[in-house]
Structure 1
Amino acid sequence: MTRTTVGRIGIIGVGEIGRAVVSGLCDGVGTPPEVFLSPRGERTAAELSARYEGVQVCADNQEVVDRSEAVIIAVRAQDRYEALAGLRVDDDRTVINVMSGVANDDLRQVLATDAALVRAIPLPSVRERRCVTVTFPSHPVADALFEQLGGTQPVADEAAFDVFSALTGTLTTHYAYLATLKSWAVGHGIAADAADRYLRGLFQGAGRALEDETRSLHRLAADHETPNGSNERIRTTWFGPANSEALGMALDDLLAHLRQPAAEGPS
């Protein structure tokens, strides 16, 4: 079977995710695709264009669409009406929607196009090509693009997509948890840089253990603690049933929010 390749990619809304996608596609790649950036996010777009030979900043969003096979829409959800107003998208394009909380039906109404629309959740780690990107629906162009960035995980419907989107909302909580551990250590007399260095090494090591997919997440937790040991003590006293239930309720609340109809734009 012939593998789908994407030679011309456009990005409308060049923020952190746009920067990560461009870096992942171009860093250390023998023949990177051509990438066309919108002027939105001017400073980042100019920086990427200067760094990578095949990256160009377009005059406007219409030029991005006209020059691309696949177009990533990465503007903030609340800015979509302004940013996409009047945009003409031919039916042979593939539009990849990475806006949080904006369903494909909503985006199709905004663009008034019959082009293929695919939702996706790329994370900043696509820059290292180590991120599995959830997509809906499965589409050969979008899936080929994200396979280059670490892998793709298509899901069956938009309801499942929303569950994965809610899981993504836990990312900064992980960093805040580490920052809290650091503050606790500093409060007990440890130098801030020493605590920071130790915690980064500790959890980078824990992250590498996740690469062993032969062990379940529960198995990994069990393998990293001994009966009545320090890890078991913290897990059972702090992350007990009440804490676990509270986390589940927070995720349920976020999921309900993601499934609400997106705010209407100007009539």
Structure 2
Amino acid sequence: MRFGFIGTGVITEAIVLGMLKSDYPVDEIVVSARTKSISKRLAKASDKIRICENNADIVNAADLLFLAVLPQDAEHVLVPLEFPPEQKIVSLIATIPIAQLQEWTRHDAIICRAIPLPSVADLTGVTAVFPPLDAAMGLFQELGTAIPANTIEEFDSFAVASGMMGLYFGFAECAAQWLCTQGTDYRGARAYLSTMLLGLANTAFQSPDESYEELRLRHTTPGGLNDQMFRRFVDEGGENALSYACQSVAERIRKNHYSQD
């Protein structure tokens, strides 16, 4: 199977590296020259990867085509291209609805949208796909876990959740800096938190039938330190802050949809 990527950024690199590590059948991967540093790095990784200067050639070469350009560049990049009607397209372009993409590709394209996370490079990613196109689901399942979204509302909610990556590292940095104020050096603080958070993530992953609330209670002694930490977090508005942040991102996504109608 031949894959094409219009747009060669961080997520394209992660997907391609994951494909090379996986057992997924790949005959050729064609990537655009932009960004040159990434495309050249990928080309050195495997002789199955070819750099292409012309986006039209990428379209013609790919059985499964990935759109990975910035939202503000999408119309300018896509409108001049001619897409064969049988081609399958996976859009990685944030916030651009399928109806708009079909207008720019100028035919009834077979398009799905996906939200791959950087960890697909290590085959540990989770990727929401809407609608769950078999070709995309099969690939992303090889790169970790593929989650089918059957409605745009469900897909958008996964998009909101993907926005928590920066929040996660910001939370960890805040905790590390607090440890440093108590006399711990940053390296030690980071090592402790990274190992603890990895352990908690593994516990959740290995306990799929337990809710997060059940896991919290299993890790909490009533009146103990974990209980005090969580109660104070709630009392200081932590839960509300997270809900407000999620709602803010959701409104931004929905506003973009409406502006395209």
Q: TM-score, normalised by structure 2?
A: 0.93
**Which protein has the bigger helix share?**
2
Task: Provide the rounded CA distance (Å) in 1 between the counterparts of 2:105 and 2:36.
Answer: 23
User: Does 2:51 align with 1:57?
Assistant: yes
Alignment deviations for residues 29-80 of structure 1 (CA, whole Å, 9 cap, x no partner): 4854421101121110110011112111112111111000111111111111
Q: Distance in 2 between matches of 1:31 and 1:117?
A: 21
Deviates more, 1:61-70 or 1:147-156: 147-156
**Root-mean-square deviation (CA), in Å?**
1.9
TM-score (normalizing by structure 1): 0.91
SS in 2 for 1:79: helix
Partner of 1:3: none
Per the TM alignment, residue 264 of structure 1 is displaced from its structure 2 partner at its CA by: 7.8
Instruction: Give 1:75's aligned residue.
Output: 69
The answer on whether the counterparts of 1:95 and 1:116 sit within 8 Å (CA) in structure 2 is yes
Greater shift after overlay, 41-50 or 129-138?
A: 129-138
Q: Specify the alignment match of 2:210 in structure 1.
A: 215
Please say if 1:232 is aligned against 2:215: no
Q: Percent identity?
A: 25
Instruction: Measure how far apart 1:217 and its partner are.
Output: 1.2
1:180 corresponds to 2:174: yes
Q: Is the 8 A contact 1:25 1:33 kept in 2?
A: no
Q: What is the alpha-carbon distance in structure 2 between the residues aligned to residue 116 and residue 175 of structure 1? A: 36
Are 1:118 and 1:135, in contact at CA under 8 Å, matched by a contact in 2? yes
Q: Which ranges in structure 1 are unaligned for 5 or more consecutive residues?
A: 1-6
Q: What letter corresponds to residue 15 of structure 1 in structure 2?
A: G
* Distance in 2 between residues matched to 1:207 and 1:33, nearest whole Å: 35
Aligned partners of 2:70, 2:170: CA distance in 1, in Å?
A: 23
Deviation of the 1:139 alpha carbon: 1.4
Q: Give how far 1:262 is off.
A: 5.8
- C-alpha distance in 2, partners of 1:16/1:120? 15
Partner of 2:82: 88
Equivalent-residue separation in structure 2 for 1:59 and 1:170 (angstroms): 35
User: Where do residues 1-267 of structure 1 align in structure 2 (5 Å cutoff)?
Assistant: 7-27=1-21, 29=23, 32-212=26-206, 213-240=208-235, 242-261=237-256
3-state SS, counterpart of residue 221 of structure 2: coil
Equivalent AA in structure 1 for residue 117 of structure 2: L
The separation in 1 between residues aligned to 2:83 and 2:24, in whole angstroms, is 30
Q: After superposition, what is the alpha-carbon deviation per residue over 1:131-164, rounded to whole angstroms, capped at 9, x for unaligned? A: 2211111212111221221122111211211111
Runs of 4+ in 1 over 6 A off after TM superposition: none
**1:33–1:54 Cα contact (<8 Å) kept:** yes
Structure 1 residues 27-36 or 134-143, which shifts more?
A: 27-36
**Number of corresponding residues:** 259
Distance (Å, rounded) in 2 between the aligned partners of 1:28 and 1:81 = 33
